[in-house]
Structure formats: C-alpha cells, structure tokens
Amino acid sequence: MKIKNIRAREILDSNGYPTISTEIEVWSGEIGKAEVPSGTSTGKTEVVEMRDQDPERYNGKGVLNAVETINTKLKDLLVDKEFTSQKEFDQMLIEADGTEFKEKLGGNTILSCSMAFARAVTEAFGLELYEYLAMTYWDKQYDNKNFKLPTPQILVMEGAKHGNWATDIQEYMLVPNMETFENFAEALRASTEVFHSIHEILDSKQYSVGLGLEGGYAPKELKSNEEAFEIILEAIKKAGFEINTHFTLALDLASSEFFNEDKNVYHLKREDEILSRDELIALQENWVNKYPIKSIEDPLYEDDWEGWSLYTQKLGEKIMVVGDDLITTNTKRIKKALENKSINSVLVKLNQIGTVSETLDAIRTTVENNLKAIVSHRSGETNDDFIADLVIATPAQLCKFGAPSRGERIVKYNRLLEIEQRLQR
C-alpha cells in the first residue's frame, strides 16, 4: 500500500472530551477512517496521550496539537511511502516516536494512524476488517473458517469513577453461558432483557435509573456494594433465566482507584471501610463463595506484583484473574506476569499500547501461554466499531464493550450481530 494522503481532525468522545479522527487515503483511492477512544480509569504504564494542556479549552484536554502533528509531521513522514504490512507501517511510527510510552508523538496520535491504515488496506482489498486483521495476525496460518463469536462480559451496573462512586466496584457484568444459548444474538438478547429487568427493579425501589460512563445503572441509593449483586441476581430470575445455567457474573474492581499509596491500604469509600491487602482478598474470596462470580479484573493495586501472585494462587482455580492496569496490553508485562504467576487472563485495549501490531502481539503472547484474552472498550468511546472486528479476527475468547445502551457501545454489539450473520451464510 502506498499512502496518498493523511488528514486528522478533533472530534468528541462519548464523555464529551476531544479525541482524534484520522483518515488515510491510499493511491488506489480507498480511504480508511479511525476514531480513537480514551480511558478514565487508566494504568500507570499506558502509552501517553497527547493533550493540549490549555486550561482555556476543554479543561486542557484538547487534541489540536495531536491533530496538527498528524497533518504536518506524520503526513510528511508517510505520504508517498509504500508499505508491505501493518507491522511495517506501525514500526515506522514507533521509530519516529522513539520513546517507550510514545511521549513524543502521543499514543492517541499514533493509534489513530495505525487503525486508519488498517481500514484503508481493508477497503483497498475489498475485505472485511476482521479478515484483514486475521490475515495480519495469523500470517501463513490464516484460515477463514476459524472465526468464532466471543463470550461477552456485558456491563449492567457501575460505580467508582465510572458511576460517580455509586459503589466502590467499577463494573458489574453479566456473562452469558454460550453453551446454553443458541448463538451470540440469543445471548445478547437475554442479557439485554436482564438489563431491562434491572431498570424495573431499581424503579420499584425508587432508586435512580441514571447511567454511568459506560451505560450501566449507577444508583447512589444503593446501601452497599453487595446490594448490586442481589439486584442483578433478582433481575436474572425476573427475566426468566437461571443463575449459573444462563448467567454468571464478572467484576472490574479497578482497585488502584481506591488504593492509598501512602498508607498502603484500600479505602472503600461507599462503605467507609479501610482494608489491608489481605482483608481485601478475603472480602473478594467471600464474594466468590457467596455469588456466581467467575471473573474479577484488577482485584489489587497495579504495582503490587507480590499481592497479585498471592491472589492468583488463592483464587485462580475458581475465577478468571484479569490483569488490566497491571498489564496495559504490554507484552513485556504479560511475560513478567507469567513469570510471577500473577494472572490467568489479560484485558486488551488498543489505546493502552498505541498500535494495531503491538495489540496483536499482546493477544498472541496471551493465548500462546494459555491465558485468556478479553478485548475491551474504554470509558471514553466513539462510534468506531474496530474492536468488534479485532475480537473476531484473533483467538481472544471474550469481549467487553459496556452496557446494552448508549450508541457508542451498541454499535460494537451490532457489528458482532452483523458478523455473525455473515459467517452463517
């Protein structure tokens, strides 16, 4: 592929903050467009976003400098250049930046170009995006009969930073048993019916039915973190489904958000409790024994490698121990976690690492070492459905796209429904 033109502009994400939309045109005339997401709860080792830091504009979160970088520096670098692979394109951007966390050009800047190039090549060859990404991932082992729909972790209630601290737990998710449901469409239908049942239950209790950043219910009237479990389980039954047979639960604790580094304790703000690491592990073990929880993400502070190893030793046989802030889609950190036996599952986010190629490498390192990979959205999303194709293209077993509400989440579920129909033809 030879690059004919590249152009970027500032747009808004689902939280009303600026992000980047980039278009790349190849010489055959096809154009690929990409819109990058942004996180609210972020890990320390994620690549750096380029933000304007101008307090007079979007509270410093503008991306005009990033847009200008694409429209000048990167345009000069890329236009009229010919690339034979996604990796070659991404590597040029990585080398042009030259820093570990992409501080020079910005992870958001680089990712928007990487994703746009993938879409441009897809258009040029008349492929579906998942086909192109699969060819890139599998190389000579590519087989178009290997595509499989993922198991979704579907957000239904949320707290912490995403839900105005309605609970200390950031995300409560439904996980449909894919062996029970006929197909992905049926699993999504059932999950959505449970989501609507939660609305009815909250309304009957005269609790708020307002939504958090990722579309889940975030009622401040909840009396405890555990009351949310009870409401979800009641909703499963109310919708006509059975706990364990049809649904289990998954959590994202985002524990770093309520960890006090100075005192080395966890402060559960909603319940006004101060817990040591051992006490927080014991609390989660109690939840796992009491409720049908099969996955917990970020159960401990992101720099506590020793604690993660203890946690996985204690609970890793019962649940998925998912590294997000601990791993930040970084192959080096995945390998360190393998050495320390810190996790058994990895959350994958494109904008944590900053290129399509490096994301594919992270998934490859994960699954080749018998860990589970979960392709995930961010709290600040766009209507770009790239990650839906990404999870289909790779052997990632699960996806996490938010609640069955809000357009920026629904577009990704709808893309999976479309892909499922395509694969059935």
Q: What would the mean pLDDT of 382-402 be, rounded to a whole number?
A: 98
Centroid of chain to Cα 121: 24
3-class secondary-structure state, position 109: helix
First to last CA, the chain: 30
Pair 162, 40: CB distance under 8 Å: yes
Quote the DSSP letter at residue 217. B
Q: What would the mean pLDDT of 154-159 be, rounded to a whole number?
A: 97
Q: Sketch out the chain's domains with CATH numbers.
A: 3-126 (3.30.390.10), 151-424 (3.20.20.120)
Q: What would the mean pLDDT of 54-60 be, rounded to a whole number?
A: 97
pLDDT at 335: 98
pLDDT at 179: 96
What does the block give as tokens for 75?
């345009």
What does the block give as tokens for 153?
């972790």
Q: What would the mean pLDDT of 157-175 be, rounded to a whole number?
A: 94
pLDDT at 78: 98
Q: What would the mean pLDDT of 149-165 be, rounded to a whole number?
A: 95
247 pLDDT above the threshold of 80: yes
Nearest to 124 by CA among 21, 22, 24: 24
pLDDT at 11: 98
40 pLDDT above the threshold of 90: no
How many whole angstroms separate alpha carbon 348 and alpha carbon 391? 10
pLDDT at 141: 85
175 pLDDT above the threshold of 80: yes
Q: Which amino acid is at 218?
A: A
Q: What would the mean pLDDT of 390-411 be, rounded to a whole number?
A: 98
pLDDT at 271: 85
pLDDT in tens, 267-324: 998 888 999 999 999 999 999 999 999 999 999 999 999 999 999 999 999 999 999 9
pLDDT at 143: 86
How many whole angstroms separate alpha carbon 227 and alpha carbon 207? 12
425 pLDDT above the threshold of 90: no
Q: What would the mean pLDDT of 10-34 be, rounded to a whole number?
A: 98
Q: What would the mean pLDDT of 70-88 be, rounded to a whole number?
A: 98
Pair 198, 156: CB distance under 8 Å: yes
% of the chain residues with pLDDT over 70: 100
Strand-pairing partners, residue 22, are 8, 34
Nearest to 17 by CA among 384, 310, 412, 381: 381
41 pLDDT above the threshold of 90: no
pLDDT at 170: 96
How many whole angstroms separate alpha carbon 384 and alpha carbon 165? 28
How many whole angstroms separate alpha carbon 412 and alpha carbon 153? 13
What does the block give as tokens for 206?
């005269």
With cut-offs at 50, 70 and 90, classify the pLDDT of residue 43: confident
With cut-offs at 50, 70 and 90, classify the pLDDT of residue 142: confident
How many whole angstroms separate alpha carbon 112 and alpha carbon 70? 9
Which residues are catalytic, by number?
214, 349
pLDDT in tens, 128-140: 999 999 999 998 8
